[in-house]
């Protein structure tokens, strides 16, 4: 491929198309698809490195021609963050090579060249792009990659900034609705997919053991008294440190929001309620024992609920967690309660309108 293979108007059109996207995960997948089309490769992957530098999240885009008799069609397989995996040895070696030589990693294997290209953020490797070519990477192809990554990096920085809370760096409230709706749709579609035809019109009941997501609202106890006693500067310091502990306690792909004031929301994957409870209780204990400058200690109250196909409306999910939070705040504070457990024990009634949060 030469520079003439991909003209400037074509590249600009791709960039215009990319920069109309406001969803970061969709943006990343579209970037992979655009690179695959411009480089004329069937498959391209991105290994997004976690801060621990031990695990990563894998994204992949593939497009292959399938022949069915006389028909030829393009089949696209798109996956976003399919799983969190241990960084493969080859990616680890490529990372070391790039850090040492400041050049992409290129390795000939099975008559094809494996290319592993770094994606930088603040002069640090954030992700590794991988694809195969039947030839050495040309100057024209390198220009395509570097140009696209440079411009899209700047755009993503702006996109990140618009979606982040300015004080804590967590996701802001405006991004909540899109994220919760995406997860709700994912779960609902997965549960509907569990119904399978057995004999024409007959369907099986859903299998048990469906994986779940958990939503929790975290509220700092007596935060007003902290501001009154120590001032708003120290109050902001508490918010910053609490958000720091959140980032340390939860995984990099968990969704962490500052919802307003002293209230935070977290959405994370959990195989069951017991696992979700353990994760949140560990965080509550961590905050209880954390030493905040001047203030010494603070506590948080947490209300949580599981996201399922039976409860998939954003306002309803939030309302259930808020009802559990209200119970925690009015029964001693520094507690974690799940809506489902409170409901089963008769401590609360199932009132869908009980959520006190003004949802948008």
Give yes or no: residues 235 and 280 share one domain: yes
Give yes or no: residues 149 and 296 share one domain: no
Give domain status of residue 303, yes or no: yes
Give yes or no: residues 22 and 126 share one domain: yes
What CATH code is carried by the domain that includes residue 122?
A: 3.30.450.40
- 39 burial level (CB within 10 Å; 0-12, 13-18, 19+): buried
Q: How far is CA 49 from CA 153, 182, 186, 222, 298, in A?
A: 16, 23, 24, 38, 33
Give domain status of residue 296, yes or no: yes
Contacts with 1 (C-beta within 8 Å, 6 or more apart), sequence order: 39, 40, 138, 140, 141
DSSP for 154-191, please give it. HHHHHHHHHHB-TTT-SBPGGGHHHHHHHHHHHHHHHH
Give yes or no: residues 275 and 141 share one domain: no
pLDDT tens-digit profile, the chain (360 residues): 444 444 444 544 554 444 444 456 677 778 888 888 888 888 899 898 887 788 888 888 887 645 555 544 445 554 444 567 899 999 999 999 999 998 899 999 888 999 999 988 767 888 899 999 999 989 889 888 888 888 777 776 666 667 788 889 898 888 887 777 777 766 666 555 554 433 344 443 334 445 578 999 999 999 999 999 999 999 999 999 999 999 989 987 788 999 888 999 999 988 889 999 999 999 999 999 999 998 999 999 999 999 876 656 778 889 999 999 999 999 999 999 999 999 999 998 876 544 444 433
Give yes or no: residues 230 and 82 share one domain: no
Give domain status of residue 263, yes or no: yes
Give yes or no: residues 92 and 192 share one domain: no
Give yes or no: residues 289 and 338 share one domain: yes
Q: How far apart are CA 217 and CA 7, in angstroms?
A: 50
- The single residue of 79, 177, 262, 281 carrying the catalytic annotation is 262
Give yes or no: residues 239 and 333 share one domain: yes
Strands 336-338 and 300-307: parallel
Whether 84 is catalytic is: no
Give domain status of residue 226, yes or no: yes
pLDDT of residue 48: 87
Q: Please, which residues bridge with residue 340 across strands?
A: none
Q: How far apart are CA 190 and CA 204, in angstroms?
A: 15
- Check residue 309 and report its DSSP letter: T
pLDDT of residue 176: 84
Q: Are 303 and 327 in contact (CB under 8 A)?
A: yes
Q: How far apart are CA 174 and CA 27, in angstroms?
A: 18
pLDDT of residue 51: 76
Give yes or no: residues 181 and 329 share one domain: yes
Q: Is 35 left (phi over 0), alpha (psi -120 to 50) or beta?
A: alpha
Give domain status of residue 359, yes or no: no
How many independent structural domains does the chain possess? 2
CB atoms under 10 Å from CB of 305, counted, come to 30
Give yes or no: residues 73 and 197 share one domain: no
Domain range enclosing 147: 3-163
What CATH code is carried by the domain that includes residue 238?
A: 3.30.70.270
Give domain status of residue 117, yes or no: yes
Give yes or no: residues 157 and 181 share one domain: no
Give yes or no: residues 203 and 143 share one domain: no
Give domain status of residue 358, yes or no: no
Give domain status of residue 73, yes or no: yes
């Amino acid at each position: 491929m030469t520079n003439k293979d991909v003209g400037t108007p074509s590249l600009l059109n791709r960039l215009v198309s990319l920069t109309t996207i406001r969803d970061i995960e969709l943006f990343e997948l579209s970037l992979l698809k655009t690179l695959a089309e411009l480089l004329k490769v069937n498959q391209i992957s991105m290994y997004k490195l976690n801060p621990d530098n031990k695990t990563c999240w894998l994204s992949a885009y593939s497009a292959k021609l399938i022949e069915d008799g006389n028909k030829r069609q393009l089949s696209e397989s798109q996956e976003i963050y399919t799983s969190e995996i241990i960084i493969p040895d080859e990616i680890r070696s490529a990372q070391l090579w790039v850090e040492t030589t400041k050049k992409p990693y290129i390795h000939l294997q099975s008559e094809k060249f494996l290319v592993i290209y770094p994606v930088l953020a603040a002069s640090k490797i954030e992700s590794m792009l991988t694809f195969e070519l039947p030839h050495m990477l040309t100057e024209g192809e390198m220009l395509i990659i570097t140009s696209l990554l440079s411009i899209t990096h700047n755009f993503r920085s702006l996109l990140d900034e618009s979606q982040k809370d300015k004080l804590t760096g967590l996701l802001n409230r405006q991004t909540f609705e899109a994220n919760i709706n995406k997860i709700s749709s994912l779960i609902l579609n997965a549960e509907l997919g569990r119904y399978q035809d057995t004999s024409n019109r007959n369907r099986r009941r859903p299998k048990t053991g469906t994986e779940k997501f958990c939503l929790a609202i975290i509220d700092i106890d007596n935060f007003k008294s902290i501001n009154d006693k120590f001032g708003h500067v120290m109050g902001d310091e508490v918010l910053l440190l609490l958000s720091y502990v959140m980032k340390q306690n939860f995984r990099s792909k968990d969704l962490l929001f500052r919802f307003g004031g002293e209230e935070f929301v977290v959405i994370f994957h959990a195989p069951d309620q017991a696992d979700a409870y353990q994760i949140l209780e560990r965080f509550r204990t961590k905050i209880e024992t954390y030493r905040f400058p001047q203030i010494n200690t603070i506590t948080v109250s947490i209300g949580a609920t599981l996201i399922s196909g039976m409860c998939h409306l954003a306002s309803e999910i939030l309302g259930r967690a808020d009802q559990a939070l209200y119970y925690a705040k009015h029964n001693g504070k520094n507690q974690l309660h799940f809506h489902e457990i409170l409901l089963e024990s008769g401590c609360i009634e199932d009132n869908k309108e009980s959520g006190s949060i003004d949802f948008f």
